Structure 1
């Protein structure tokens, strides 16, 4: 077979108006306090080379540019319209834009769904008018946009330079903060900015695809308050992150995914940590503090990735070397083990008191010869055990701290570092306590694309992002996602029967679904009358048994006295059967009791939980963690969006803070991790096949050294889907 059946995705239509050749300012104003005036200023002072059409029927010109009474009066085509008029005018204006053939409209006005039902209705009307005319909407309730490589600056921001960071932000103030930070940095510039506003039409997934394609953007950066379509965003990120880095700051903890669910998984899902896990699953670099956004974006834009987590530290002070080691450990990075040849080469150029173990403390060697720092960096960069090099201390300030004559040596050292970065292909990151005053050696590094940070923490966060992206590209990208199983007719009939009876699956039904698709579940029997217990006792013999009530009306079986443990023999089973029925009728006289479930007591092992919810933003999400009654207290869990790859499942197991328990502690046997990974993949494939399943809880699952057993299972039905 020749050729390929894979078709490249179509180029985003957003290019047609985010890089416009003609712009109409609807509501252009001669009042300097109005946005319709400021946008004109931004275009004129920014030397925009396209056509500008101010729309204002009351004045003949604004800032020397002739005005037009309406869109219909404009003689040429219009790519983008900036709409500065009130919300009440928008429905008619979108119809006007459609007739004119306007490709995109930036709607600044607020007063839509964020204000309540009436605003939501107006927003729907505006969207319908825009869609009818083929007009794409940015906003409404947006701060605007710019494309600095196209000289489009509709925000009239000053002292902002064109660069390679694309930024999408639901906060206009966050944009201003980053612009001011970039101005202080002096070397960072932006490509495109958009405020998505209400995302009535264009969402984060659309903007991410645009930035992924945009040739002037080397890193896509997003400030997100809320996703409207998390599934599409994850899919877009899965496609874009192998091409260029994506940085996301997610504000707050989303409550959209939380609901009054009776399952453990439902109670834990929808959290901020879930969102972080899902973003990392598709290669996104997540920053947790707003002051990390620009440093991480700059570092990824310049260096893209590291091949691993092993960092070599060159320091000119013991205190900062210790702090750096602590921060690297906190970030999940490793202090690289330097090879013996590397240590010998270092010893040949450093004073005897220098520390040759990583971190390498030059111990005063550089005080009179700062060029030695560059030589040390070169030596460790050539070590195969090193993935990135981190220079920590006062480089750039030796000529200030000790003698002006050292400036030449620092400049030569800077040039050597720049050349080393070009040759070695490994990230070189510099922290200097002199970074805030920007001495010439540090300016030279920055100008050449070697970032310099004034914070050890920021520099370490950059190293972490580089390592995580590099490892993601090595391990995750290209791995196939788990395919769904073929749904079985008897299982579909089981779901339909439960729906008809207005209940969720009974425990034995949930386990039957798992068994039907090769999940290890202990053998058990459903007993409806006491007379059946003789055969059950004979079948299980001397095994200790557990007995649990089967009822759709009794969710918490233990609270109702509906559970008996460690039962042996027919007599014990009969007594337990009568006690359970009596207890449950006392607990709820109207409960629909279908009998009891009898199963062997589980052997001792390590308890874990596997769960699934259908999150309203991200769709089906799988959770894994240490199980038992404390799961909601400890919250030591990992989340991944379904479907999973094998790497996803393996990473979930390794992500837990309590993973040492799975490895075996204090003489306990280790859990069968491959069996756990296999279980996660099977659950992923089952959930993909049965949209009737809304929530799933397997708690506990007992992990053994050679396999596992699902002890308890709960499945909540997606009633909305079943009745559709």
Structure 2
């Protein structure tokens, strides 16, 4: 396994401490200061422990001190178990003796309201003034089991290679209990980030990325304090270590002030998932997937693709596995004729040799045949991963005790295959919950066995997504920002002064300046100008649209007319649009109308951008037109994008088959859409003045695209 450079994070100094002060240490079993002491003592912590309590001489046999100032040695970590109001003063004392980090257990900060928020700011000022990094406040605590630091006094928790950061103490407890039932999974470091007043998820992720005892970083996240920093940390860590995230809830922050299609769809849970996957994070959607997926990523090779071969001893479970693989975006590998021939030589005539392979009773008296099937299928170049499904491990229980020896030999053969083969082998057994000897021997050798088909499929999906991510990121730099244009910057400044968004023709001029294909158009301020417009465009059909900073949705106001030909049509449409828009919004400032040639029929898509309050500039792509907010079939990526990011956006949406052409319609030029996404990404990266952008619709053709409507919202002027 690759490693990121060691000890760049200052968190090593106190997450793996050689000395700990427990401020508010107690001999009262109901106090957290007691649990911290007991956890260190029973966990056989070998560093120095300094209980701080002015009322006693010793606590649980350890000499106590009345204050930090009396501690005879240096302190790496202070665990503060006192009430919230005492924290600023204690941090000042910590700074005086050079404490590197502090765990603040107390609640009563910004989660309680304005007064608590003010106290939290005071805590942060005190910490920064003294150079003390703080975990929390309002944290469940931390442990480092390889260092024997167990401040939570969790019993029977095994040291292992999964690092876990969780905003929920109950989620930690759930995973600890699940690991105890699993019996093979252990943890390296756990931290409850609490309010993330100082140290955020990005800091913890970098620490786990550098930690030699951590093979996989797993996170339970309710909210990021700085999404952009986390994405960059994940981008740095995921090439060398898997990162698993369970994100709870969905933020609506991006929707509160939304005034565009993109703004209405941003800030969602699905957006967060897309951005995490963009940087190689494995996202799980069920809490019981966290540990199985983390274990699978820690122990198995990633897959080179999504083609899975299923070997099963039962048709029903093979069908279920096939369904779940399809749901996960994986596919059944098409076995070669050579592979099927070799399988036919060892299986009964009634066996199914078409993937999924159903051995049809061949293994009932000879479970070793399953290992031989897996070995044969592993050599097929059409196969990326192997999935054993059924009752393996329980044959000696189900049929005859004499089969135990054969199952043990088969188990060893599977372990050997998993170690020698460059393709992952995932095993599901309905006997996994009772842990019979064959399955126990496999798990002990580092080949996990899953208790549900769904868990096995999720692990296969994670291995495939990680493998493809690592392949796709090789040599795929992000697109550079365009060089800002002085005229565009001046336009942005003028619209700020006018307290308005860009008019459509202005937005299109920004695109045109930076290489985006936009049709010719004319702004008409009075009916007298229509005659020259009619001469300019001749007999081709035209579209006319209202231009007004006060009318956002032109069609709703009657501000759009299509298929206009000749002077008479133009004059009638102009007067009709003006009358309808005045009736729709009597106080609206009607700047004029925009006249442009009609575009030919094609597939409508949307390209949008919004500056999310957590993740910064985010690009969106999906099917366009009026149904974008109804269907919500869109893909998101954080800006800047690589070409791989743009291609995945186009291929990700559920309606991607429409882009390939349906009912005789031709498919669209996907690479042209990819180029458009990259151009928009580069434009947004160059102009921080752009707050939101909507190109809707964009008409995609077999030979390019046409931007029909464009809207750019600029950041408001400062106070």
Normalising to structure 2: TM-score of the pair? 0.98
Which of 613-622 and 304-313 deviates more? 304-313
**What CA deviation, in whole Å up to 9, does each residue of 1:265-313 have, x standing for no partner?**
1111111000000000000000000011110011001114111111111
* Equivalent-residue separation in structure 2 for 1:459 and 1:409 (angstroms): 24
Distance 2:470 2:644 in 1: 11
What is aligned with 2:375? 378
Task: Name the structure 2 match of 1:352.
Answer: 349
Confirm or deny that 1:333 pairs with 2:333.
no
Secondary structure of the residue that 1:700 maps to in structure 2?
strand
Which residue of the partner structure matches residue 494 of structure 1?
491
Q: Answer whether contact 2:26 2:53 (CA < 8 A) is retained.
A: yes
Q: Answer yes or no: is 1:541 the counterpart of 2:534.
A: no
Q: Distance in 2 between matches of 1:168 and 1:647?
A: 30
1:723 aligns with 2:709: no
How many residues were matched structurally? 716
In the TM superposition, residue 582 of structure 1 has moved relative to its aligned partner by 2.5
- Secondary structure of 1:491's counterpart equals helix
Does residue 210 (structure 1) correspond to residue 223 (structure 2)? The answer is: no
Indicate yes or no: 2:440 matched with 1:443. Answer: yes
Equivalent residue number for residue 289 of structure 2 = 292
Q: Aligned runs of 1:604-683 on 2, under 5 Å?
A: 604-683=601-680
Deviates more, 1:584-593 or 1:273-282: 584-593
Distance 1:419 1:331 in 2: 28
SS in 1 for 2:556: coil
- Cα deviations by residue, 1:51-94 (Å, 9 ceiling, x for unpaired): 00000111111111000011111100000011000001000000
Alignment partners' CA distance in 2, 1:24 and 1:9:
26
Q: Which residue of 1 aligns with 2:47?
A: 50
Give the match for residue 79 of structure 1: 76
User: 1:591: how far off?
Assistant: 2.2
Q: Distance in 2 between matches of 1:35 and 1:478?
A: 50
Conserved? CA contact 2:254–2:264, under 8 Å = no
Match of 2:554 in 1: 557
- Change over 3 Å in CA distance of 1:357–1:249 after alignment to 2: same
Gaps of 5+ in 2: none
Q: Distance in 1 between matches of 2:340 and 2:386?
A: 15
Map 1:504-583 to 2 at 5 A: 504-583=501-580
TM-score normalised by structure 1 residue count: 0.98
- Give the direction of change, closer, same or farther, for the CA distance of 1:478–1:222 in structure 2 (3 Å limit): farther
Question: Hey, what does 1:232 align to over in structure 2?
Answer: 229
- Distance (Å, rounded) in 2 between the aligned partners of 1:10 and 1:524: 58
1:557 shift after superposition: 2.1
1:529 deviates by 1.9
Per-residue deviation, residues 541-578 of structure 1 (Å, max 9, x unmatched):
11111111111122222232222221111122122222
Q: Deviations over 1:426-452 (max 9, x none)?
A: 211110011000000000000000010
SS at match of 2:146: helix
> How far apart are the structure 1 equivalents of 2:392 and 2:489?
68
Output the CA distance in 2 between the equivalents of 1:560 and 1:453: 58
- How far did 1:456 drift? 0.3
2:162 to 143, 162, 165: 165
Alpha-carbon separation, structure 2, partners of 1:219 and 1:296: 10
Q: How does 1:141-540 map to 2 (within 5 A)?
A: 141-540=138-537
Q: Counterparts of 1:301 and 1:592 in 2: how far apart (Å)? A: 62
Partner secondary structure for residue 599 of structure 2: coil
Give the secondary-structure state (helix, strand or coil) at the position aligned to 1:325. Answer: helix
Distance of 2:539 and 2:7 partners within structure 1: 66
Shift of 1:601: 1.3
Q: Distance in 2 between matches of 1:202 and 1:461?
A: 31
Within 2, Cα distance between the matches of 1:284 and 1:500? Answer: 42
- CA RMSD in angstroms comes to 1.1
Q: 1:155 to 1:10 in 2, by over 3 A?
A: closer
Deviation at 1:8? 6.7
* Contact 2:301–2:422 (8 Å) recurs in 1: no
Distance of 1:572 and 1:493 partners within structure 2: 36
Counterparts of 1:50-129 in structure 2, within 5 Å, are 50-129=47-126
1:618-677 per-residue CA deviation (whole Å, 9 max, x = no partner) reads 000000000111111011100000000000000001001111110001000111111100
Instruction: Provide the rounded CA distance (Å) in 2 between the counterparts of 1:436 and 1:102.
Output: 46
CA distance in 2, matches of 1:586, 1:443: 77
2:31 corresponds to 1:34: yes
Q: Separation in 1 of the partners of 2:556 and 2:451?
A: 57
Q: Deviations over 1:571-611 (max 9, x none)?
A: 22122222222322333333222211101111100000010
How far apart, in 2, do the equivalents of 1:308 and 1:588 lie?
Answer: 56
Partner Cα distance (1:349, 1:584) in 2: 78
CA distance in 2 between partners of 1:372 and 1:590 (Å):
81
8 Å Cα contact 2:622-2:634 kept in structure 1: yes
Alpha-carbon distance in structure 2 between the residues aligned to 1:152 and 1:569: 82
Q: Is the 8 A contact 2:5 2:210 kept in 1?
A: no
Cα drift, residue 346 of structure 1: 1.1
1:477 Cα deviation (Å)? 4.3
Q: Which residue is equivalent to 1:3?
A: none
Deviates more, 1:484-493 or 1:301-310: 301-310
CA deviations on 1:183-240 (whole Å, 9 max, x unpaired) are 0000000000000000000000000000000001000000000011000000000010
Q: Is the 8 A contact 2:301 2:423 kept in 1?
A: no
Gaps of at least 5 residues in structure 1 are 1-6
d(CA) in 2 for partners of 1:712, 1:263: 12
Moved more, 92-101 or 565-574: 565-574
> 8 Å contact 2:6–2:211 — kept in the other structure?
no
What is the CA-CA distance between 1:679 and the residue it aligns to?
0.3
Q: Is contact 1:244–1:304 with CA below 8 Å preserved after alignment?
A: no
Task: Tell me, yes or no, if the aligned pair for 1:242 and 1:477 is still in contact at 8 Å.
Answer: no
Q: Contact between 2:473 and 2:644, CA under 8 Å: does it hold in 1?
A: yes
Are the aligned partners of 1:245 and 1:304 in contact in 2 as well (CA < 8 Å)? no
| Cα distance in structure 1, aligned partners of 2:226 and 2:638 | 13
